[in-house]
Structure 1
Amino acid sequence: MTDLYIYYRVPAGQAGALASKVRAMQAALGGGQLKRRPGEKDGLQTWMEVYASVTDDFPARLDRAAEEAGLQQHIDGLRHTEVFTDFN
């Protein structure tokens, strides 16, 4: 199975607006987790979206959903995706 971990930096002043958009996007996609590193550095928070056991078409669906939700306007820099698979 494949799990996705997407991390990015969020200006503290954008946190509220972004959280509601991410949660709505995740609900439309059928789930996911939203996490954040404790504290801030230089006014930025580090956030992570987690999607466990996704299908092969999910990354493309997620990219489209993030674009449609307008997430990038609330993020400092890019969203970075890490892919992990089960260890056999």
Structure 2
Amino acid sequence: MKDLYIYYQVKDEHAQALEARVRALQARLAEQSGVAPQLKRRPDSKDGLQTWMEIYPVVGEGFADVLAAATEETGLLALTHGQRHTEAFMDLPPCA
């Protein structure tokens, strides 16, 4: 199992529309897969751009493909500025 972190930028004027789409996408994914997604953004805006992060904790194999397809389907890319960057992290086992 791993956690996915997706970060990207959005223009200030697209933020409200993008938030509605991301929240709908995350609700659908939570219902379908049981994942508990989070949506975050940096508190400041720079040059009219906000930096956002979607977090999908404890996802299984194949979830990244499901997320990519759902992202395309909901038209999120039309409201983002530049690329979406995906990072995957896994938990380290506890010390014995």
In the superposition, the TM-score normalised over structure 1's length comes to 0.97
Match of 2:83, SS?
A: strand
Post-superposition shift, 1:60? 0.2
Structure 2 letter corresponding to 1:61: V
Per-residue CA distance 1:27-68 (angstroms, 9 max, x = gap): 110141000001101000000000000010100000000000
Larger radius of gyration: 2
User: 5+ unaligned residues in a row in structure 1: which ranges?
Assistant: none
1:21 and 2:21 equivalent?
Answer: yes
1:7 and 2:12 equivalent?
Answer: no
Give the match for residue 33 of structure 2.
none
Q: CA RMSD in A?
A: 0.7
User: 5+ unaligned residues in a row in structure 2: which ranges?
Assistant: 31-35
* Segments ≥4 residues shifted beyond 2 Å: none
Rounded to whole Å, the distance in 2 between the matches of 1:57 and 1:83 is 13
Structure 1 letter corresponding to 2:45: E
Aligned positions, number: 88
Q: What percentage of residue pairs aligned between the two structures are identical?
A: 55
Rounded to whole Å, the distance in 1 between the matches of 2:69 and 2:27 is 14
